[in-house]
């Protein structure tokens, strides 16, 4: 990690630039995959499984027997941990339920709003070097709570043609039964267009590599919604002398091990503390099984000395991190100063890994600066807000003239007449 001392505002974009993928080049690879799935359906999915996952698949759907047997393949301690995470995630997301609202805005004019579940949703769960069974909880639980009628889960098979048992166990635990052995852009295409085995969905959720990300963005052009634009994982840690260097180093490495294109950023008020943290990073790095991946990610990363908190907060908000850890003495001041972040972790004993797994918040978050305008996944992500209105005869008498005047001044005569005919009817009925 390079160290910058009070960098000028004008250099922030350059110095904090995320590792960039050439999206046009990636789309050139992804578009033919999606077209082939659209034309050939299951046949294409099986071909791609052989080509990319190096496995020949007879049936794309996970059978009940395979799903039911998954729990026996897991240690009790893992199943207990998954149960704990499930409880916390379910409890926090249930709190996000919004009751229907209704109010008489003016006499005779009542407006209402209620949440309605998105009917068909697709969940993409990475299953390669890191099978993300935790993401099954993060996406499946709010989908179930929202009341989505159809939930399809796509995840790549292993070289034996099986799905990781932790993914199957977690899916069964929360009641997801339609599981498809398909990964990559081809899985996104299947959920976008539909095949004999994979239902077409209204919205696609879940993290993935650059090909999955490109496929999701292409799916939006076909009228399928996605959870958010996403890219490589990232964390920014803002720490001062009250923080513990070993803790900070561990948090930086926990993100760096995600992938070679991940980015970690350290912001501190003193260069002395930065060097303590970087020394701890070097020591801890030696012990990591994914050392090569983390080391490569650190090449994309930077440590920044910002002496003033106001400047540090400005930089953090400009960067808009996916994950933000605050380990500073004036933590409340820092919290209040943050307006752009996917999820915030406060204090020395709140590792980012808590949110990744079991604290209760969701780990599917906006990356690449999208935290300026997007929220992370929540219960709201799985519902639509529909508004309703009911106007009585008394209400149209009161409100109608204002509508007529506004429509007339927008030169929309038919809009005006839609009110006028009602008012005339009420007058003539007397």
Could you tell me if 296 and 407 lie in one domain?
Answer: no
Domain count, the chain: 3
In a domain, residue 6? The reply is no
Domain containing residue 359: CATH number: 3.40.50.1980
Domain boundary among 227, 256, 283: 227
Helix/strand/coil (H/E/C) assignment for every residue in the chain: CEEEECCCHHHHHHHCCCCCCCHHHHHHHHHHHHHHHHHHCHHHHHHHHHHHCCCCCCCCECCHHHHHHHHHHCCHHHHHHHHHHHHHHHHHHHCCCCCCEEEEEECCEEEEEEEEECCEEEEECCCCCCCCHHHHHHHHHHHHHHCCCEEEEEECCCCCCCCCHHHHHHHHHHCCCEEEECCHHHHHHHHHHCCCCCCCCCEEECCCCHHHHHHHHHHHCCCCEECCCCCCCEEEEEECCCCCHHHHHHHHHHHHCCCCCCEEEEEECCHHHHHHHHHHHHHHHCCCCCHHHHHHHHCCCEEEECCCHHHHHHHHHHHCCCEEEEECCCHHHHHHHCCCCCEEEECCCCCHHHHHHCCCCCCCCCCCCHHHCCCCCCHHHHEEEEEEEEECHHHHHHHHHHHHHHHHHCCCHHHHHHHHHHHHHHHHHC
In a domain, residue 94? The reply is yes
Could you tell me if 40 and 157 lie in one domain?
Answer: yes
Residue 294 lies in domain: 231-375
Q: For residues 125 and 135, give the distance between their C-alpha atoms in angstroms, rounded to a whole number.
A: 7
Q: For residues 142 and 314, give the distance between their C-alpha atoms in angstroms, rounded to a whole number.
A: 33
Could you tell me if 236 and 204 lie in one domain?
Answer: no
Could you tell me if 261 and 349 lie in one domain?
Answer: yes
Could you tell me if 164 and 196 lie in one domain?
Answer: yes
Place of tokens 């696609």: 204
Whether residue 101 contacts residue 112, with contact meaning beta carbons closer than 8 Å, is answered with yes
Whether residue 314 contacts residue 338, with contact meaning beta carbons closer than 8 Å, is answered with no
Could you tell me if 304 and 334 lie in one domain?
Answer: yes
pLDDT for 23 equals: 79
In a domain, residue 8? The reply is no
The tokens describing 243, both together, are 């923080």
Q: For residues 391 and 171, give the distance between their C-alpha atoms in angstroms, rounded to a whole number.
A: 46
Q: For residues 205 and 187, give the distance between their C-alpha atoms in angstroms, rounded to a whole number.
A: 12
Could you tell me if 200 and 290 lie in one domain?
Answer: no
Q: For residues 161 and 394, give the distance between their C-alpha atoms in angstroms, rounded to a whole number.
A: 67
In a domain, residue 387? The reply is no
Domain boundary among 334, 349, 375: 375
Whether residue 149 contacts residue 117, with contact meaning beta carbons closer than 8 Å, is answered with yes
Q: For residues 167 and 179, give the distance between their C-alpha atoms in angstroms, rounded to a whole number.
A: 10
Q: Could you tell me the CA-to-CA distances from 427 to 40, 403, 412, 418, 423 in Å, in that order?
A: 63, 17, 23, 15, 6
Place of tokens 């005919």: 421
Could you tell me if 277 and 256 lie in one domain?
Answer: yes
For CA atoms 48, 53, 59, 64, the dihedral sign is: negative
Measured in degrees and rounded to the nearest 5, phi and psi for residue 14 equal -70, -45
Report which of 153, 393, 346 is spatially closest to residue 239, judged by C-alpha positions.
346
Could you tell me if 130 and 253 lie in one domain?
Answer: no
Could you tell me if 144 and 71 lie in one domain?
Answer: yes
Whether residue 303 contacts residue 278, with contact meaning beta carbons closer than 8 Å, is answered with yes
Choosing from 164, 323, 352, 363, which is the catalytic residue?
323
List, in sequence order, every residue forming a beta bridge with 302; answer none if it has no partner. Answer: 2, 265
pLDDT for 24 equals: 84
Q: Is 322 an annotated catalytic residue?
A: yes
Domain boundary among 210, 227, 244: 227
Choosing from 322, 332, 363, 394, which is the catalytic residue?
322
Could you tell me if 254 and 277 lie in one domain?
Answer: yes
In a domain, residue 175? The reply is yes
C-alpha distance across the termini of the chain, in Å = 82
Could you tell me if 207 and 345 lie in one domain?
Answer: no
Feature table: binding site for Zn(2+): 255, 258, 356, 415
Whether residue 153 contacts residue 125, with contact meaning beta carbons closer than 8 Å, is answered with yes
Q: For residues 98 and 106, give the distance between their C-alpha atoms in angstroms, rounded to a whole number.
A: 24
Place of tokens 């980015």: 263
Q: For residues 412 and 393, give the distance between their C-alpha atoms in angstroms, rounded to a whole number.
A: 23
pLDDT for 430 equals: 65
- Using only C-alpha atoms, what is the Rg of the chain? 26
The DSSP bridge pattern shows strands 109-117 and 101-106 to be: antiparallel
In a domain, residue 384? The reply is no
Q: Flag residues of the chain having pLDDT under 70.
A: 21, 128-129, 430
């Amino acid at each position: 990690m390079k160290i910058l001392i009070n960098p000028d505002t004008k250099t922030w974009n350059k110095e904090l630039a995320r590792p960039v993928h050439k999206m046009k080049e990636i789309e050139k690879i992804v578009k033919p995959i999606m077209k082939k799935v659209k034309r050939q359906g299951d046949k294409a999915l099986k071909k791609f499984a052989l080509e990319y996952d190096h496995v020949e698949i007879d049936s794309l759907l996970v059978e009940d027997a395979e799903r039911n047997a998954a729990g026996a393949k897991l240690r009790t301690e893992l199943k207990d941990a998954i149960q704990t995470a499930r409880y916390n995630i379910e409890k926090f997301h249930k709190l996000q339920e919004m009751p229907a609202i209704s109010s008489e805005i003016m006499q005779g004019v009542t407006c209402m709003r209620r949440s309605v579940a998105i009917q068909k949703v697709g969940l993409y769960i990475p299953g390669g070097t890191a099978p993300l069974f935790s993401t099954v909880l993060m996406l499946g639980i709010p989908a179930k709570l929202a009341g989505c009628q159809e939930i399809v889960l796509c995840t790549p098979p292993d070289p034996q043609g099986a799905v990781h048992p932790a993914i199957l166990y977690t899916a069964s635990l929360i009641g997801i039964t339609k599981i498809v052995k398909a990964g990559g852009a081809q899985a996104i295409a299947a959920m976008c267009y539909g095949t004999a085995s994979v239902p077409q969905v209204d919205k696609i959720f879940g993290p993935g590599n650059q090909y999955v990300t490109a496929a999701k963005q292409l799916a939006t052009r076909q009228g399928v919604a996605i959870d958010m634009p996403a890219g490589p994982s990232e964390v920014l840690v803002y720490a001062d002398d009250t923080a513990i260097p070993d803790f900070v180093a561990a948090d930086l490495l926990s993100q760096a091990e995600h992938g070679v294109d991940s980015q970690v950023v350290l912001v501190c008020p003193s260069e002395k503390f930065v060097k303590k943290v970087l020394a701890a990073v070097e020591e801890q790095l030696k012990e990591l099984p994914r050392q090569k991946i983390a080391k490569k990610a650190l090449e994309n990363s930077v440590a920044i000395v910002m002496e003033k908190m106001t400047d540090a907060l400005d930089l953090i908000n400009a960067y808009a991190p996916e994950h933000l850890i605050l380990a500073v003495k004036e933590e409340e001041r820092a919290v209040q100063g943050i307006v752009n972040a996917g999820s915030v972790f406060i204090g020395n004993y709140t590792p980012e890994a808590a949110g990744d797994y079991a604290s209760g918040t969701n780990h599917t978050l906006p990356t690449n600066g999208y935290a300026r305008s997007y929220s992370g996944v929540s219960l709201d992500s799985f519902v639509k807000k529909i508004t309703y209105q009911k106007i009585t005869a008394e209400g149209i008498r009161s409100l109608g003239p204002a509508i007529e005047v506004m429509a007339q001044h927008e030169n929309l005569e038919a809009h005006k007449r839609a009110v006028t005919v009602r008012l005339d009817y009420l007058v003539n009925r007397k």
